[in-house]
Structure 1
Amino acid sequence: MIINNSLDEVKKRENALSIIKEIVEDSGRNSLFDLTGLSGGFIASPSEISLLETYVGPAIFEEELQEVGRQHMGGEKILPLNRTSSGILATILALVSKDSNVVHYLAQLPAHPSIPRSCKLVGANYSETDVFKEFSIPENTSLVIVTGSTMDHKVIDEDEFRQVIDMAHEKGIPVMVDDASGARLRTVVFNQPKACDLGVDIAITSTDKLMPGPRGGLMAGSEDLIDKIKIKVNQFGLEAQPPLVLAMLNGIKSFNEENLINSFSRKEDLIELLNSKFDNFKTTPTGVMITPEGLANEINLNHNLSENDLAFVFSFILLKEYGIITIPAVSMPGASATIRFDLSTNDAFNMDLNDLCKKIESSFNKLQEVVINEDKCREIVFSF
């Protein structure tokens, strides 16, 4: 195997960032094509940047973020955080006691790793399922979690979503929704209500997913729970600093629903092109993807790489050869190794889909050439 542990994933990511830097310095930003759906951004005017002082920034921008955030997320109160994972951790620290149960329902396993890791940190018993008939809430449960849209953009069924909320509230248990991309994907593409409008107690989204905001977390929910969680956020330094608050504010203001809707239609053109060459690409709500298992099924040579290793090597070939950024190359430890080509990103808007298909095919052919040489694959991923 090439990637054996979290440290390998960190080193892999560091190499990807070095490659990105080299491409920008040699050929300019226009030579990169971020198709992760996580490209984010930092929208700010010079006059706004001049106000980004430690105390002046929050005083100026957090009040407006409350208003704009409630429009985007619903709920009574908004809490900006430095990461979505930070908000999940703070919620579990605030609401979950040792030896209590945390149960999680999502459309497709696995959950984001920050959830079980946070539960382990407080000594809670954690369980997750993607089979609705198997979902239950045992005694001594302190928190119910729902994922609105998984890491691979599998969206929860709205009826099941509502039933989980009702089951929890019948027992007086709060519900938190990990709505990282779902706050936009569910609502815009699948026409579902905002999580808070469905009655959940806490919802959190990632402000760089499917919108032009920074890598940060935005939480919404009932005022009393937000205040309780905010105590933990401040105790452990998990709050969003002034630059993030400003970028979140402007990212939400600049969010364009039409971009998601357009990508929903363009994906059909891309999948038709890819299906003429491959058997295992699938559509996502905003593009196409191939899972590590699907990629392995496309390979017709014997090799010693794991399915995830294949995805990592493929993602680095795409990056090095064509400047195409996909999640496996730049992801944090524990993230899904599924390769997504998200068409909702700024870089994707003007891409010729025939050209993109050719680059994907060429990169796959390169993968086929190197897959039998584990040392060469390791060199591609780590640049040894």
Structure 2
Amino acid sequence: MSITLNEVKRREKGLKIIKDKIETDGIDSLIDLTGLAGGFDITPEDISLLETYAGPAVYEQKVQELGIKHLGGEKILPVNRTTSGIVAMIIALVKPGTKIVHFLAKKPAHPSIPRTAKLVGAEYEEYTNLDEFKIDDNTSLVFITGTTMDLEVISVEDFKRVIKQAKEKDVIVAVDDASGARIRRAVYNQPTAIDLGADISVTSTDKLMEGPRGGLMAGSTEIIDKIKLVVNQYGLEAQAPLIVGMIKGLEKYSPERIQEAFKQKDELYQKLLDKQLNPQTTPTGFMFKEEEIKAEVEKRGAKVDMDADVIATVYSMLLIDNYNIITIPAVGMPGASKTVRFDWAAKDSDKLTMDELVSAVCDTFDKTVEVCKNNDFESVLYN
């Protein structure tokens, strides 16, 4: 998905609505169901160490211990975003003229992978069918996405088949396990990517855990050191405040909340079906893809000439404005998926009942219909 200036401006509008809500009703009035709430649960003692050299000196060993426990591997590398880790990894390991091949449950991949492939002058191919998957002799890196942006998970068997093919060709395997390091393991009881045979794994420290938006990479000491050199050269390293936030998130992480949401999602899904809605389930909730949002609005009587991603953003914006419920399309980074996803594992789900959430979902469809009928997109998205 290409990034447009309009996406940037829509995100600014979404953040403005949130700012106004905080100023009027306080931050506790917000209900963040993105699964990306993150956090900086730090103490006054931590704050006193947030200096350029003191912080890294104190926190380096702790993040190594907790990171290895969470991801496996020999060494951990904290970076300022998962995307930063992917960019550094490709720069460090992929030569111009070679190829990156990528297996995932469903397209598209995270855009940072094809973009960086282009940046270094490498070819790039994606596969969702293992019968078609192939590794050429000039392949320098194999990527696996453990869990897609819409939380679709690949099986352990597919993991192992891709890794086996890569090892036969002596090609390094990297796993984009942004949310998969939690979803795959907590819900499906899968091993870590490293334990499955991958050489590198990277995860997001704010996805389904209470850490800041950052990235944590694991692998062998040799490979991590190569990537770390690039990270330092390009200023992609996590600074002390981010690292201490990661440590707190790792310390607090427990799979039980994710597992409980997995158990409850069927009850929530049935309540939506009873309202004649037809969302897709996720491991920890439900979602409406952008085309499904548009189709539901049209079913309710609106004639829609706008693209589906715009309608999904309108829906997400109205959820914040009317119900204080935050979903990704209104506030996510430009280029991110416009799927409207409700994560019942998010800690803010405690702020409302299932029936209250279902009522908000239904009412927001009606409000989106009115916006479409009145052609009122500008005021919702930008003004």
For this structure pair, what is the TM-score category when the shorter chain's length is used for normalisation?
A: over 0.9
Going from structure 1 to structure 2, the CA distance change for 1:5 and 1:215 (only over 3 Å counts) comes to closer
Tell me the amino acid that sits aligned with residue 245 of structure 1. Answer: I
* Aligned twin of 2:52: 54
Aligned to 1:337: 338
Give the corresponding residue for 1:186. 184
The answer to whether residue 98 in structure 2 is matched with residue 100 in structure 1 is: yes
Identify the residue that residue 346 of structure 1 maps to in structure 2.
Answer: 347
Match of 1:260 in 2: 258
Matched ranges for 1:172-321 at <5 A: 172-299=170-297, 300=299, 301-321=302-322
SS at match of 2:373: coil
Number of aligned positions between the proteins: 380
SS of equivalent residue, structure 2 residue 144 = strand
- Which residues in structure 2 correspond to 1:13-28 (within 5 Å)? 13-28=11-26
Contact 1:280 1:298 in 2 (8 A): no
1:169 counterpart (167, 170, 173): 167
Please give the alpha-carbon distance, in whole angstroms, between the structure 1 residues aligned to 2:28 and 2:79: 30
In structure 2, C-alpha distance between the alignment counterparts of 1:145 and 1:4, rounded to whole Å: 21
The corresponding residue for 1:10 is 8
Matching of residues 48-127 of structure 1 within 5 Å: 48-127=46-125
Paired residues of 2:143 and 2:173 also in contact (CA < 8 A)? yes
**Counterpart contact for 1:278–1:298, Cα < 8 Å:** no
Which range moved further: 231-240 or 255-264? 255-264
1:146 maps to which residue? Answer: 144
The one-letter amino acid paired with 1:77 is K
2:358 is the alignment partner of 1:357: yes
Question: For the residues of structure 2 that align with 1:177 and 1:282, how far apart are their CA atoms?
Answer: 25
Deviation readout 1:93-114 (Å, 9 max, x if unpaired): 0000111100000001000011
Q: Which residue of 1 aligns with 2:31?
A: 33
Q: CA deviation at 1:180?
A: 0.0
Offset of residue 90 of structure 1:
0.1
Per-residue CA deviation, residues 329-364 of structure 1 (Å, 9 max, x unaligned), is: 111121111000101111013421101111111111
SS of alignment partner, residue 131 of structure 2:
helix
Q: Report the Cα distance in structure 2 between the residues aligned to 1:4 and 1:221, rounded to whole angstroms.
A: 31
Matching residue's letter, 1:294: E
Counterpart AA for 1:289: M
Deviation at 1:5, TM superposition (A): 4.3
After superposition, the C-alpha distances for 1:48-98 in whole angstroms (9 at most, x for unaligned) are: 111110000000011111011000000000000000000000000000011
* Partners of 1:179 and 1:205 within 8 A in 2: yes
Q: Which runs of 5+ in 1 are unaligned?
A: none
Cα distance in 1 for partners of 2:69, 2:219 equals 12
CA separation in 2, counterparts of 1:130 and 1:105? Answer: 6
For residue 198 of structure 1, give the secondary structure of its aligned residue in structure 2: coil
Do the aligned residues in 2 keep the contact of 1:42 with 1:247 (CA within 8 Å)? yes
Once the 2 structures are TM-superposed, how far is the Cα of residue 210 of structure 1 from its aligned partner?
Answer: 0.2
Structure 2: which 5+ residue stretches go unaligned?
none
Match of 2:378 in 1: 378
Could you give the per-residue CA deviations for residues 253-311 of structure 1, whole angstroms, max 9, x where no partner exists? 00021110111122112111111123331110011101111112212222211111110
Distance 1:139 1:4 in 2: 31
Paired residues of 1:280 and 1:297 also in contact (CA < 8 A): no
Q: Does structure 2 conserve the Cα–Cα contact (< 8 Å) formed by 1:37 and 1:345?
A: yes
Change (3 A) 1:215 1:5: closer
Question: CA 1:5–1:81 in 2, change beyond 3 Å: closer, same or farther?
Answer: closer
SS for the counterpart of 1:133 is: coil
Q: Aligned equivalents of 1:303 and 1:12: distance in 2?
A: 19
- State the identity as a percent: 51
Mapped to 1, the partners of 2:254 and 2:27 lie a distance apart of 23
Paired with 2:232 and 2:4, the residues of 1 have a C-alpha distance of 28
| Match of residue 325 from structure 1 | 326
Structure 1 stretches of 4+ moved >6 Å: none
CA contact (8 A) 2:212 2:246 kept: yes
TM-score normalised by length of structure 2: 0.97
State the AA in 2 paired with 1:361: C
Q: 1:158 deviation in Å?
A: 1.0
Cα-Cα RMSD: 1.2
User: 1:172-224 deviations in whole A, cap 9, x for unaligned?
Assistant: 10000000000010011011000011110000000000000000000000110
> Conserved in 2, the CA contact under 8 Å of 1:149 and 1:179?
yes
Normalised TM-score (structure 1): 0.97
Name the amino acid aligned to 2:239: Q
